[in-house]
């Protein structure tokens, strides 16, 4: 019997059936915006349909120009667009999966000066103040939702999802925070929810009954002035009455100051909000947010808290997620680690989405792992993220691969990242690579130092040097003092650390290390209830918006995070996650010092000169330890040696990952370039 019986139970919607309980949730990839990208979009969806998802939801398409997320953003409003969408629906239907088009009107979140909203109130995250919709514009917008649904049906979609969460137009209509109207669309909750219900009516009227209508309902707004539990339940029942087939979960507006999907959010952290809505209705309800592995999904369904599971990013990471779970191969799932680095960060930078752990995502036609006819022997030296990706892709294509690692374990810098509270998911990537090493019969040689003698003995056709990085040791007088610890030694050997600590370097690793130093005990990312208390989340929405007073966990030590730059700390962190790291360190009272010059280290502590507004002041931080997070340098001596004998050797030599370029040491780049290299080895 399958280990996940609830996950693989079909669902009968009356006029149509879903083959299992897994939905690929909506994710804007950047391929939706231009018709000439629809072949790529079709290939992307086809892989996920082939991979077993029962129902796929597209990225958001606006019903009209005023609803654009970005200027010239994705819309479905004219007949000429239908044939492009046909490519997508035909590709999905080849694999017994269903697909619905998400209709998303951005309202005041539209990143355009033409945006509109129930009231002319600017959002805190967009630069444009919206124009207030007139009553007749509201009525035409409702008709346009119906028009989009009708066009979607013509294009072969099995239904639509109405985006009614995350703070977009429908949510703006529902809440007094954004709706101050005094006409029949504002005031009482009955008036404020009329727009959502009219949208459903218009869609049913124009697209008919044999058409799936999913409504993504904001089950927890996480903003002041958001909906109460009673209002959410009233809306859920009214939507059911109006003919919605499935209620999907939305958590948090984009302007919320509580993280909802980043890696430090515990798995299934918001499922109680879904269960609360499920208890009010008879139609199927979908759980979402930070569900990335089949055991978590199965537990939710088995406990009766939801009827379906939606995952978006996990399908970028692994299109075959469903088939692997069904075939008892869950250990082969390439798990989404919720880093946002290649997906949402790209979307917010207006770039095509992809995935840090799967660079083929949204590049299915461009990056292909074609089986080889003439297998070669590929020797990969270094089993960090770049070496692992290269070894696995080469082996998957049919090459004979030997992977050599000097340590007694694989994973490189990912092992260090996994030590940070809130980054436990990085263990999953290492588990995945271990499973792939076994599956593809990669000859893994641990605790082995690769040198010319070993290469001559193994006689490979290709040598890939991915020997990674070492911490940069800055030239500060006293740097050899016993107080000084590199981040690498701190996280791998875990030496005792004193009560007062200075962290040098405020890049991604300086922030991570500061989080490590200011937490004690079990990571709240592994305990949903503790995490909710820490962030002030009231999943029962007993207060409007579901916000409670946060319960702070004080840091066990005093930490200073120092940088030489005078710019804001954490300015270079990623867009969708950087604010969370800054908020955590603020909660932990970490003292940020910029414009610092390091003068020396001795028994007294760290001597610095701080310059601010042209005024310099010398200080001594009486610290017990100094942790170096001052960047990395490439470890590439072996490559240089091999290059020098390249003309006389019988193998090609390649360099990837941090060993090639430590300046932008970043796993996304390392895995992508290593995968591309492996895809090209012939």
Residues near ligand NAP (CB under 6 A) are: 472, 474, 504-512, 563-565, 573-574, 581, 629-632, 664-666
Binder of ligand SF4 out of 116, 258, 283, 316 (CB under 6 A): 316
**DSSP codes, 409-435:** SS-THHHHHTTSTT-TTHHHHHHHHHH
Q: Residue 470's beta-bridge partner residues?
A: 633
Instruction: From the candidates 157, 168, 487, 639, give the one annotated as an active-site residue.
Output: 168
CB 495 within 8 A of CB 489: yes
Q: How far is the CB of 210 from ligand NAP (least distance, A)?
A: 47
Q: Choose from ligand SF4, ligand NAP, none: what does 445 bind? Cβ within 5-8 Å by kind.
A: none
Residue 525: DSSP 8-state = G
**Judged by CB under 6 A, does residue 343 bind ligand SF4?**
yes
Given the complex with ligand NAP, which of 154 and 564 has the nearer CB atom?
564
Q: How many CA atoms lie within 13 A of 490 on its CB side?
A: 27
Q: Choose from ligand NAP, ligand SF4, none: what does 317 bind? Cβ within 5-8 Å by kind.
A: ligand SF4
Q: How far apart are CA 169 and CA 548, in angstroms?
A: 25
Q: Choose from ligand NAP, ligand SF4, none: what does 629 bind? Cβ within 5-8 Å by kind.
A: ligand NAP
Binder of ligand SF4 out of 196, 212, 297, 317 (CB under 6 A): 317
**Judged by CB under 6 A, does residue 339 bind ligand SF4?**
yes
CB 214 within 8 A of CB 162: yes
Q: Choose from ligand SF4, ligand NAP, none: what does 565 bind? Cβ within 5-8 Å by kind.
A: ligand NAP
Q: Are strands 605-612 and 596-602 parallel, antiparallel or unpaired?
A: antiparallel
User: Is 189 in the active site?
Assistant: no
Structure tokens at 661: 């370029």
Given the complex with ligand SF4, which of 356 and 502 has the nearer CB atom?
356
Q: Choose from ligand NAP, ligand SF4, none: what does 573 bind? Cβ within 5-8 Å by kind.
A: ligand NAP
Q: How far is the CB of 489 from ligand SF4 (least distance, A)?
A: 27
Q: How far apart are CA 571 and CA 653, in angstroms?
A: 37
Given the complex with ligand NAP, which of 162 and 621 has the nearer CB atom?
621
Q: How far is the CB of 158 from ligand SF4 (least distance, A)?
A: 25
Q: How far is the CB of 313 from ligand SF4 (least distance, A)?
A: 4
Given the complex with ligand NAP, which of 367 and 479 has the nearer CB atom?
479
Q: Choose from ligand SF4, ligand NAP, none: what does 313 bind? Cβ within 5-8 Å by kind.
A: ligand SF4
Stretch that binds ligand SF4, among 143-151, 152-160, 312-320, 500-508 (CB under 6 A): 312-320
CB atoms within 10 A of CB 295: 13
CB 70 within 8 A of CB 119: no
Binder of ligand SF4 out of 340, 413, 576, 634 (CB under 6 A): 340
Q: Choose from ligand SF4, ligand NAP, none: what does 237 bind? Cβ within 5-8 Å by kind.
A: none
Q: How far apart are CA 512 and CA 506, in angstroms?
A: 9
Given the complex with ligand NAP, which of 460 and 471 has the nearer CB atom?
471
Q: How far is the CB of 416 from ligand SF4 (least distance, A)?
A: 17
Q: Which residue is listed with tokens 């390392």?
A: 670
Q: How far is the CB of 602 from ligand NAP (least distance, A)?
A: 18
**Judged by CB under 6 A, does residue 357 bind ligand SF4?**
yes
Binder of ligand SF4 out of 214, 277, 286, 342 (CB under 6 A): 342
Q: How far apart are CA 460 and CA 377, in angstroms?
A: 5
CB 46 within 8 A of CB 92: yes
Q: Residues of 355-389 as b/e, b for ≥16 C-beta within 10 angstroms?
A: bbbbbbbbbbeebeeeeeeeebbbbbbbbbbbbbb
Stretch that binds ligand SF4, among 166-174, 246-254, 337-345, 590-598 (CB under 6 A): 337-345
Q: How far is the CB of 423 from ligand NAP (least distance, A)?
A: 8
CA dihedral 311, 43, 9, 307 (to 10 degrees): 30
Binder of ligand SF4 out of 62, 141, 341, 574 (CB under 6 A): 341
Given the complex with ligand SF4, which of 338 and 383 has the nearer CB atom?
338
Structure tokens at 659: 């060993």
Q: How far apart are CA 487 and CA 584, in angstroms?
A: 19
Binder of ligand SF4 out of 338, 430, 436, 667 (CB under 6 A): 338
Q: How far apart are CA 356 and CA 258, in angstroms?
A: 24
Q: Choose from ligand SF4, ligand NAP, none: what does 249 bind? Cβ within 5-8 Å by kind.
A: none
Residues 6+ apart with CB under 8 A from 607: 598, 599, 600, 601, 618, 619, 620
Q: Is 652 helix (H, G, I), strand (E, B) or coil?
A: strand
Q: How far is the CB of 263 from ligand SF4 (least distance, A)?
A: 8
Count of residues of this chain found to bind ligand SF4 when the rule CB under 6 A is applied? 14
Q: How far apart are CA 53 and CA 48, in angstroms?
A: 6
Q: Sheet holding 22-24: strands in order across?
A: 246-251, 212-220, 159-164, 98-103, 55-61, 22-24, 308-311, 286-287
Q: What is the torsional sign of CA 103, 45, 333, 516?
A: negative
Q: How far apart are CA 239 and CA 593, in angstroms?
A: 52
**Judged by CB under 6 A, does residue 355 bind ligand SF4?**
yes
Q: Choose from ligand SF4, ligand NAP, none: what does 22 bind? Cβ within 5-8 Å by kind.
A: none
Looking at the annotation, which residues are catalytic?
168
Binding site for ligand SF4 (CB under 6 A): 313, 316-317, 336-343, 355-357
């Amino acid at each position: 019997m399958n280990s996940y019986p609830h996950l693989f139970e079909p669902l009968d919607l009356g006029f149509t059936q879903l083959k299992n309980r897994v939905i690929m949730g909506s994710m804007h990839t950047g391929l939706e915006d231009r018709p000439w990208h629809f072949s790529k979009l079709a290939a992307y969806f086809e892989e996920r349909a082939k991979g077993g998802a029962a129902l796929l939801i597209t990225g958001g398409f606006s019903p009209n120009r005023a609803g654009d997320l970005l200027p010239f953003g994705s819309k479905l409003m004219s007949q000429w667009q239908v044939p492009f969408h046909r490519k997508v629906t035909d590709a999905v239907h080849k694999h017994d999966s269903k697909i619905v088009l998400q209709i998303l009107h951005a309202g005041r979140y539209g990143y355009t000066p033409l945006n509109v909203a129930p009231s002319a109130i600017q959002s805190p995250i967009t630069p444009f103040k919206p124009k207030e919709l007139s009553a007749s514009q509201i009525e035409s917008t409702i008709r346009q939702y119906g028009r989009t649904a009708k066009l979607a049906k013509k294009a072969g979609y099995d239904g639509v999802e109405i985006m009614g969460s995350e703070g977009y137009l429908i949510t703006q209509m529902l809440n007094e925070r954004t709706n101050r109207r005094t006409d029949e669309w504002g005031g009482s909750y009955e008036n404020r929810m009329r727009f959502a219900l009219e949208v459903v009516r218009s869609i049913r009227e124009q697209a008919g009954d044999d058409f799936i209508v999913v409504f993504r309902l904001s089950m927890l707004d996480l903003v002041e002035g958001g909906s109460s539990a009673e209002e959410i339940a009233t809306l859920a029942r009214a939507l059911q009455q109006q003919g919605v087939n499935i209620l999907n979960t939305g958590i948090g507006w984009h302007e919320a100051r509580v993280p909802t999907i980043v890696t430090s959010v515990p798995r299934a952290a918001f499922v109680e909000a879904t269960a609360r809505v499920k208890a009010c209705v008879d139609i199927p309800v979908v759980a979402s947010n930070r569900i990335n592995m089949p055991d978590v999904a199965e537990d939710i369904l088995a406990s009766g808290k939801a009827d379906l599971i939606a995952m978006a990013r996990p399908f970028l990471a692994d299109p075959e997620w469903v088939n692997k779970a069904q075939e008892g191969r869950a250990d082969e799932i390439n798990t989404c680690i919720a880093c946002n680095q290649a997906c949402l960060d790209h979307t917010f930078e207006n770039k095509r989405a992809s995935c840090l752990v799967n660079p083929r995502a949204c590049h299915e036609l461009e990056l292909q792992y074609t089986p080889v006819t003439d297998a070669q022997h590929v020797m990969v030296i270094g089993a960090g993220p770049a070496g692992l990706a290269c070894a696995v892709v080469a082996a998957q294509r049919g090459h004979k691969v030997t992977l050599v690692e000097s340590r007694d374990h694989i994973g490189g810098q990912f092992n260090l990242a996994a030590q940070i509270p809130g980054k436990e998911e990085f263990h999953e990537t290492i588990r995945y690579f271990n499973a792939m090493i076994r599956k593809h019969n990669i000859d893994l040689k641990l605790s082995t130092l690769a040198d010319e003698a070993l290469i001559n003995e193994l006689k490979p056709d290709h040598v890939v040097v991915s020997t990674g990085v070492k911490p940069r040791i800055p030239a500060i007088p006293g740097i050899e003092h016993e107080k000084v610890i590199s981040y690498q030694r701190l996280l791998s050997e875990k030496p005792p650390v004193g009560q007062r600590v200075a962290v040098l370097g405020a890049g991604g690793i300086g922030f991570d290390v500061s989080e490590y130093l200011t937490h004690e005990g079990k990571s709240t990312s592994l305990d949903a209830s503790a995490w909710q208390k820490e962030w002030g989340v009231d999943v029962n929405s007993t207060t409007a918006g579901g916000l409670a007073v946060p319960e702070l966990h004080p840091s066990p030590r005093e930490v200073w995070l120092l940088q030489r730059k005078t710019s804001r700390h954490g300015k270079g962190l990623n867009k969708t996650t950087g604010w969370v790291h800054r908020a955590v360190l603020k909660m932990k009272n970490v003292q940020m010092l910029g414009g610092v010059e390091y003068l020396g280290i001795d028994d007294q502590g760290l001597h610095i000169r701080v310059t601010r507004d042209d005024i310099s002041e010398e200080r001594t931080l009486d610290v017990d330890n100094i942790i170096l997070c001052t960047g990395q340098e490439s470890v590439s001596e072996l490559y240089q040696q091999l290059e020098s004998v390249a003309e006389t050797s019988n193998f090609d030599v390649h360099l990837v990952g941090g060993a090639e370029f430590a300046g932008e040491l970043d796993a996304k780049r390392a895995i992508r370039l290593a995968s591309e290299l492996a895809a090209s080895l012939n």
